[in-house]
Amino acid sequence: MTRSMRDEWRGARRIVIKIGSALLADRETGSLKSDWLDALCDDVAALRADGRDIVVVSSGAIALGRRVLRLPSGPLKLEESQAAAAVGQIALSSAWREVFARRQVTAAQVLLTLGDTEERRRYLNARNTLAALMSLGVVAVVNENDTVATSEIRYGDNDRLAARVGSMISADCVVLLSDIDGLYTAPPAIDSAARRLDVVEDITPEIKAMAGDAGSELSRGGMVTKIAAAEIAVEAGAHLIIANGKISHPLRALSEDAPSTIFLASANPVVSRKRWIAGSLVPKGTVIIDDGARTALESGRSLLPAGVVQVEGSFDRGDAVSIAGRQGEEIGRGLIAYSIADAARLIGCKTAEIETILGYRGRSAMIHRDDMVLKRSM
């Protein structure tokens, strides 16, 4: 444990705590681990008493629900997992409500879908709700609304959801409590030389490679989504900690120097609106630009139609799109001022021609610099 880790954790005033399903639901029986939850809530109540704002992101709805419904083990059909989530979520919420109530803490349930964080208007709406709950001293317990989420339109993992919530509430720390105590240089189960990293200052390709393959059996307990979450969090100005949740009082343990990995927040987090753009999980399309436009963007200018060579995908005005170079490499993200149909007609044209081509006076920039985040700061 390094000094910096303790300082970052101890100094955090606004914290998101993500709890994995395996911590809340017994692997064998699928029942709720109430002793563990009790101990965790002691820790949360202590942090609250110390003046920290806490938002909990709790998994476990599907794990709890499938037990009640006696669904077979193994992958569930979409409608089965939706049904399991509906049954499990009510149990999960009531468990949180009760354990917090015993500590005189009011809990609230907030169920989010991908659209609630990806669409700007809905994002602001959710942000306001969470802000109101925090100012009322309530601990929000957030989960994905799995009863309506479909496989295409969902987070699917609460790691990235927690990071997105952290960004939404301007948290200074996101803690992922998991069944592993940090990021290892190699899978510890098969490589005895594997070493846990204390601090990650930069999420380099080497760091990403340590997570293994998303699809591989050896990927360490969803480390891929944890690193994706870390990327979102650090860019939003929050530290992200991966810590072992399998012990009793895991947050107290963190204050007492339990092993963990901390990804340090970027020193220059992007402002809130750009943070939302950079963290968008599903850009609706891609705008491919030429080298001249790339240089212009890098020197802080807007993207004009003249520099665009191709548009792909299916986007509407105001949607988040990826900006790529000629080789397809992502340069940044931005909110586009035109639908794909109009953008396609404007490819390569001069700003003065926009009105004649479209028949209306559109914006001169395809993506305005205020609506754009370049990769080096993403």
Quote the CA–CA distance of 96 and 100 in Å, as a whole number. Answer: 6
Task: Considering the complex, state which of residue 19 and residue 251 has its C-beta at the smaller distance from ligand GLU.
Answer: 19
Candidates 53-61, 130-138, 188-196, 338-346: pick the segment binding ligand GLU (CB under 6 A): 53-61
Are the beta carbons of 238 and 171 closer than 8 angstroms? yes
- Shorter beta-carbon distance to ligand GLU: residue 60 or 305: 60
Using the contact rule CB under 6 A, the part of the chain among 43-51, 57-65, 199-207, 212-220 near ligand GLU is: 57-65
Taking CB under 6 A as the binding criterion, the range among 1-9, 29-37, 45-53, 55-63 that sits at the site for ligand GLU is 55-63
Element (H, E) at 352: none
In the complex, the smallest distance separating the C-beta of residue 34 from ligand GLU, rounded to whole angstroms, is 17
Please answer whether residues 101 and 41 qualify as being in contact, where contact means their C-beta atoms are separated by less than 8 angstroms: no
Candidate list 5, 17, 54, 61; residue touching ligand GLU; CB under 6 A:
61
Of 8, 19, 21, 45, the one binding ligand GLU (CB under 6 A) is 21
- The answer to whether the beta carbons of residues 186 and 210 sit under 8 Å apart is yes
Whichever of 21 and 266 has its CB closer to ligand GLU, that residue is 21
Alpha-carbon span 206 to 200, nearest angstrom: 11
Question: To the nearest whole angstrom, how small is the minimum distance from the Cβ of residue 160 to ligand GLU?
Answer: 9
Structure tokens at 114: 């991908």
Please identify, using beta-carbon distances, which residue of 61 and 265 lies nearer to ligand GLU.
61
Query: Which residue in 30, 60, 166, 269 binds ligand GLU (CB under 6 A)?
Result: 60
- Minimum CB separation of residue 344 from ligand GLU in Å reads 38
Say how far apart CA 303 and CA 109 lie, in whole Å: 41
Nearer to ligand GLU, 40 or 331 (CB): 40
CB of 44 to ligand GLU, least distance (A): 18
Contact call for residue 59 and ligand GLU (CB under 6 A): yes
Place of tokens 């700061």: 377
Nearest alpha carbon to residue 136 among 220, 48, 56: 48
Distance in Å, CB of 45 to ligand GLU, minimum: 23
Smallest gap, in angstroms, from Cβ of residue 18 to ligand GLU?
A: 8
Compute the CA torsion angle 22, 23, 24, 25 (nearest 10 deg): 40
Binding characters for ligand GLU, 129-158, by CB under 6 A (x = yes): --------------xx-x----------xx
Taking the complex as a whole, the smallest distance from the CB of residue 224 to ligand GLU amounts, in Å, to 12
What does the chain come to in residues? 378
Q: How far is CA 308 from the centre of its chain?
A: 30
- Round to whole Å and give the CA distance between 374 and 378: 6
**Binding segment toward ligand GLU, per CB under 6 A, in 38-46, 56-64, 173-181, 199-207:** 56-64
Q: How far is CA 194 from CA 181, 213, 230, 318, in A?
A: 13, 17, 21, 45
How many whole angstroms separate alpha carbon 351 and alpha carbon 335?
A: 18
43 vs 144 by CB, closer to ligand GLU: 144
- Minimum CB distance to ligand GLU, residue 170 (Å): 23
Candidate ranges 54-62, 113-121, 244-252, 264-272; the one touching ligand GLU (CB under 6 A): 54-62
CA 38 – CA 249 distance, rounded (Å):
9
- The beta strands (E) that lie in the chain are given as 14-19, 53-58, 107-112, 139-144, 173-178, 199-200, 239-244, 260-263, 285-289, 308-313, 320-324, 330-335, 372-374
- Of 71-110, binders to ligand GLU (CB under 6 A) are 85
CB of 151 to ligand GLU, least distance (A): 13
Shorter beta-carbon distance to ligand GLU: residue 114 or 367: 114
Number of shown-chain residues binding ligand GLU (CB under 6 A): 13
Nearer to ligand GLU, 118 or 157 (CB): 157
Of 141, 144, 140, 148, whose CA–CA distance to 161 is shortest? 144
Binding region for ligand GLU (CB under 6 A): 20-21, 59-63, 85, 143-144, 146, 157-158
